[in-house]
Copies of this chain bind each other. A is one copy, B any other.
């Protein structure tokens, strides 16, 4: 109820702050009998890890995960799976100059308004570092979904600032520091140059990221409120810095006619996927296609007008180690969130309607 638990049947309850001793989560509701070890989780954490290129924060965190419970002899028992990640590289002094003032565009201000107290070290609880436990939990969800339905997840960067990235293939996403779905050297060089210039300016930049789930069974999602697309929107908008979410054609629908938008159905399957894999809040069996807008990082070196905690005017410049484009590391996070939504609805489906049928329509 206090907003630190995700999901209803497959739940992830996280804890921790950017500069506390540890972060982690408890995953509850995982079906018993799933083979699981740290080796299933660590690769996903490594994809999200900071410090992997000059385009992301230089904080050095191995993000090594420890399973504390819920697994016996390499198999899940159905009891809670606690995951622990010790923080290693907390340089709280980096933040000394902003502990008493509010960065424009940052949660500093609203946490103060809500709680009357906040942990300012590295953004405390509002830090994007807190997406690490979600990525870890998502790895468990992915493994179960793959085993049950053959579901796979992919996604990547589609635009950074004004640079639209031409799509080649999702295969390239893990081969470059931007999660760009391209192997085009010119495009990648353009991105390198663009990010270098942003960083040199002491500024930050927005991004658009897409994620896709393939081999999702038809029939997942609840009517009226817990629609599958509604919960995806909730999951994605909840990722730090996300300001817009689309399913399928998204805002493209505004100018579409019904005769153009509605995906026709033949014995060979759907002829198109304007819906993005969801109709009436329930999966169709087609790919689930999600797009999200990510705002530019609020911690920048360029001085900006703000107030301090006493309400006095102050100029804020943020030093320390920040991602100039938080969108870059967003892909594994968004995949994890999508996986968590899907496993939750798969279990909800099984509860009320019995086993789901795998595969597309």
Contact with B along A15-34 (1 / 0, CB 8 A): 11100111110101111110
A143 at the interface (CB under 8 A from B): no
B-chain residues with CB within 8 Å of residue A79 when the two chains form the complex: 4, 15, 17, 119, 124-125, 223
A253 with B351: CB separation less than 8 A: no
Among the stretches A52-60, A180-188, A231-239, the one at the interface with B is: A231-239
A33 CB contact (under 8 Å) in B75, B110, B117, B227: B117
Nearest to A275 among chain B residues (CB) is: B105
Contact residues of A between 227 and 274, Cβ < 8 Å to B: 227, 229-238, 240, 243-267, 271, 274
Contact residues of A between 1 and 53, Cβ < 8 Å to B: 1-6, 8-9, 11, 13-17, 20-24, 26, 28-33
A204 at the interface (CB under 8 A from B): yes
B-chain residues with CB within 8 Å of residue A297 when the two chains form the complex: 258
B-chain residues with CB within 8 Å of residue A23 when the two chains form the complex: 69
A350 at the interface (CB under 8 A from B): yes
Q: In the complex where A22-B69, A113-B282, A267-B307 touch, is A224 in contact with B130 (Cβ < 8 A)?
A: yes
Q: In the complex where A69-B15, A117-B77 touch, is A257 in contact with B204 (Cβ < 8 A)?
A: yes
Q: List 21 A-B contacts (CB under 8 A).
A: A2-B11, A2-B348, A3-B223, A5-B28, A13-B80, A14-B80, A33-B115, A33-B116, A78-B352, A109-B361, A113-B357, A201-B257, A203-B258, A208-B254, A232-B237, A237-B247, A240-B280, A244-B247, A252-B293, A260-B296, A266-B305
Nearest to A280 among chain B residues (CB) is: B107
